[in-house]
Structure 1
């Protein structure tokens, strides 16, 4: 459609809608008009309360004050995810945002640990990871140090509903128009099928040149109107439901997310300043909705303060996340369970991708194809990383975990696992959201120990190796004594 894009219409509020509004208006400014249509009658899923470090880039680009943001969203700091009972029952490990040890030229730190024999004990890697050490002690502070070995990357937990409200106020100040109303019908161009306008129940017409579908699982534009189709990944990611509930604030605010495996799924615990977010992701063949609800309610740290909410989903992705003049953002574009807290990041990256490829002079096939190619690759890379957690488990207590271990997996993932099993080789695919450190922590945490190590780890004597490891471990632990508890940090920083 070769006509200039002057008007962007966003259907749906919530986190997806208001991130889209804030970013597009901030980055594209007066070049476009942005109108967001949402209805108070339609609720949002609202369980995405944990994030990954990319959220800091989003907030920085928007120019948000971090202390104010934490106050407004009742946010907390997230250093890691603690996986409990995933390898087997009673076992736990961290997937932290930090990097263990110290970067070596052409040779990852874990090869030196393997040579020293410490990699056989899967707790040792995290003794060299400041994020994991601080998480274990429940501590956090902003560390400003010139030595990159002491970097402590972090993300946030926050109330997704409050974040959407915060971004709404921010967006409206920049000139985003919010329209309250429910869509009654969608009008298309009879020649090319492009969306022309949304007709609300009261008869108002919302016209636009480009539409973002942030309508959640309904996919009102991308699927119900354009019939784009959906690629089902439930043969790999077999959980198909979640039950969520909020509970009272726990007495100690942990600086990490907890992911606790059960016989037919896994449970999240997310600490906020005013409450805890809780949920159970499960396979309906193993738990009924009532059984899942009772299991979740019986495993809370604090008293429930909302009614449990069951959410049905199908893992997978839209075949085309940009189709005609509609781009699906958020749940309308696909769903990957929140095991690695990627939901909000996928919203963010979808909008950033649109900004990079924004069709100012009109939509053309090559732009749409590039957007869809990048979106597909990103979803597949995140999919593989999530499958990894399930597939390399060692649990024998339920058929669910045995089936996940025995199932066929994507060739891309099988290749990555085999490379690491041989001699610890890890390579980050182009644009992969997850670094070598992330893949390393999950593979080791789930019990995969490489058979050998790279010969570059033999370039120093045994005495030099032990001295180096001792020094790095001491450097990593040194800041801990001066770092306050996470709760003390929040009290001082947020006021």
Structure 2
């Protein structure tokens, strides 16, 4: 039998991105910056194909602090970015009615004060909290104190202090962000082809994609194809049959309705997530409007009931009818298969409870650039990409499952299911090690860090039974004095900060625009 000939090597000549939207243009922008337009040896043609007939989902308008690194890598002008995307700042997420009815806690971006004896500040606070004069652990988080007082300035100074012990992200209009990146990418040589893909050509023998054909007959060839076609997963599933890990038994929400409403004052520098009887509702404040949505399980409520819950809990006048979305939580068994790499919703879906959708897009394209293949698209590179994406997806999945599992709510069938459901073994380990010792096990360094896990554990009512014995080296009275000083320093620092809305109006106020759904 004749041995199958290995595909020719050499640098990629053309990368074809299938689908626009946030994922497509977030992929195109850095590829255009690094590879597009030029006569240098590394230049490669980048082509993005999108259809005006196919809408985008765009439910994620809140981000994590790492979005700033993505923007900075593109050398974007921050003020221009904020104005053109109607952005506001985000210091974290406020959670209401999670864990139990009436509960409220904040997942802020940053530490709970400086570490002591190479142990987190909050671990020492846990040891003395009963004698801490009513001080809560959130008093030690600059981001949390800022958020609850609607204050904002960027972190300042190189010496560690309350003025820089926090981080921030953005809320923005995902459609405007995609348009902003489209202009950026096309200015750097990325070509946009408008049309609907009706056929995909495969190479005999190994099944590599060689071209896509549009409805008008145009044929677009490529060496590497990036599938940003959303839930349709046109290439990774429609052609490659990569398969899907269904996680709906751990995350049973399968539906959402989204609607914008009029902006109300004050302009809050945080996202709000409010638990409902069969899911949860988001609130994302932008300069021109407020984004709202209700994520729910259709097995425990009807679409009509879910829509009513959403609409009666808006804090401004609705600007459209709710838009219905369906999804199945999970991820592709292989996000990179042959010469197809899935990024965004085509690679998987995790509900936007912790604003991870854009994070996964950003990390997906970042890892592809790190492991960028030649025309052979070596299977070992694909295996490493899939290993790292799987680890991150699973870690984020478990972090989201934690929100549901650590509940004492029994007011609805949905919450009774969540409290009783079995969970992944890794998450059980993380819960139990914190419960028994106050320690946090980080299984994926590319996912949520220790302060985030602590915010969820304590916010949902999980308190350690014992503490790290090393902590006993410091006198309790000394610790209480330290925390009192830290709380005072944070409060004074926040007192001097401007109002969030006033800061935006002064530095990056967006022009008025016509409201849209």
Tell me the TM-score normalized by structure 2. 0.93
Q: Deviations over 1:132-187 (max 9, x none)?
A: 00000011012312332422200000000000000000000000000111111111
Match of 2:378 in 1: 364
1:474 is the counterpart of 2:481? no
Match of 1:438 in 2: 452
Where in structure 2 are the equivalents of 1:146-225 lying within 5 Å?
146-150=158-162, 151=164, 152-225=166-239
Match of 2:56 in 1: 44
Residues 217 and 136 (structure 1), Cα distance of their counterparts in 2 relative to 1, 3 Å cut: same
**Matches of 1:417 and 1:486, distance apart in 2:** 35
Contact 1:27–1:355 (Cα < 8 Å) also in 2:
no
**Matches of 2:381 and 2:368, distance apart in 1:** 10
**Matches of 1:119 and 1:424, distance apart in 2:** 18
Match of 1:92 in 2: 104
Structure 1, gaps ≥5 residues long: none
Could you say what secondary structure the match of 1:198 adopts?
strand
1:295 Cα offset (Å)? 0.9
1:18 is the counterpart of 2:29? no
1:28 is the counterpart of 2:42? no
**Matches of 1:149 and 1:416, distance apart in 2:** 30
**Matches of 1:34 and 1:336, distance apart in 2:** 28
1:476 Cα offset (Å)? 1.7
User: Which deviates the most, 451-460 or 83-92?
Assistant: 451-460
Contact 1:118–1:124 (Cα < 8 Å) also in 2:
no
Contact 2:171–2:286 (Cα < 8 Å) also in 1:
yes
Match of 1:101 in 2: 113
Could you say what secondary structure the match of 1:303 adopts?
coil
Could you say what secondary structure the match of 1:225 adopts?
coil
**Matches of 2:287 and 2:376, distance apart in 1:** 45
Where in structure 2 are the equivalents of 1:302-341 lying within 5 Å?
302-341=316-355
1:255 is the counterpart of 2:262? no
Where does structure 1 differ by over 4 angstroms across 4 or more consecutive aligned residues? Answer: 118-123
User: Which deviates the most, 248-257 or 210-219?
Assistant: 248-257
**Matches of 1:28 and 1:377, distance apart in 2:** 28
Equivalent of 1:134, from 146, 170, 177?
Answer: 146
1:393 is the counterpart of 2:400? no
1:269 is the counterpart of 2:283? yes
User: Which deviates the most, 232-241 or 146-155?
Assistant: 146-155
**Matches of 1:435 and 1:119, distance apart in 2:** 28
Residues 431 and 114 (structure 1), Cα distance of their counterparts in 2 relative to 1, 3 Å cut: closer
**Matches of 1:376 and 1:235, distance apart in 2:** 18
Q: Deviations over 1:414-466 (max 9, x none)?
A: 00100000120113224241000000000000000001211222222232122
Equivalent of 1:238, from 252, 255, 260?
Answer: 252
Could you say what secondary structure the match of 1:77 adopts?
strand
Tell me the TM-score normalized by structure 1. 0.98
Match of 1:66 in 2: 78
Residues 246 and 60 (structure 1), Cα distance of their counterparts in 2 relative to 1, 3 Å cut: same
1:47 Cα offset (Å)? 1.3
1:425 is the counterpart of 2:431? no
Q: Deviations over 1:221-260 (max 9, x none)?
A: 1111111111100000000000001111122210000000
Contact 2:132–2:480 (Cα < 8 Å) also in 1:
no
**Matches of 2:84 and 2:413, distance apart in 1:** 44
**Matches of 1:12 and 1:121, distance apart in 2:** 56
User: Which deviates the most, 109-118 or 303-312?
Assistant: 109-118
**Matches of 1:460 and 1:478, distance apart in 2:** 26
**Matches of 1:51 and 1:403, distance apart in 2:** 29
More helix per residue: 1
Match of 1:283 in 2: 297
Residues 122 and 339 (structure 1), Cα distance of their counterparts in 2 relative to 1, 3 Å cut: farther
Residues 435 and 51 (structure 1), Cα distance of their counterparts in 2 relative to 1, 3 Å cut: same
**Matches of 2:463 and 2:347, distance apart in 1:** 36
Contact 1:6–1:360 (Cα < 8 Å) also in 2:
no
Match of 2:497 in 1: 483
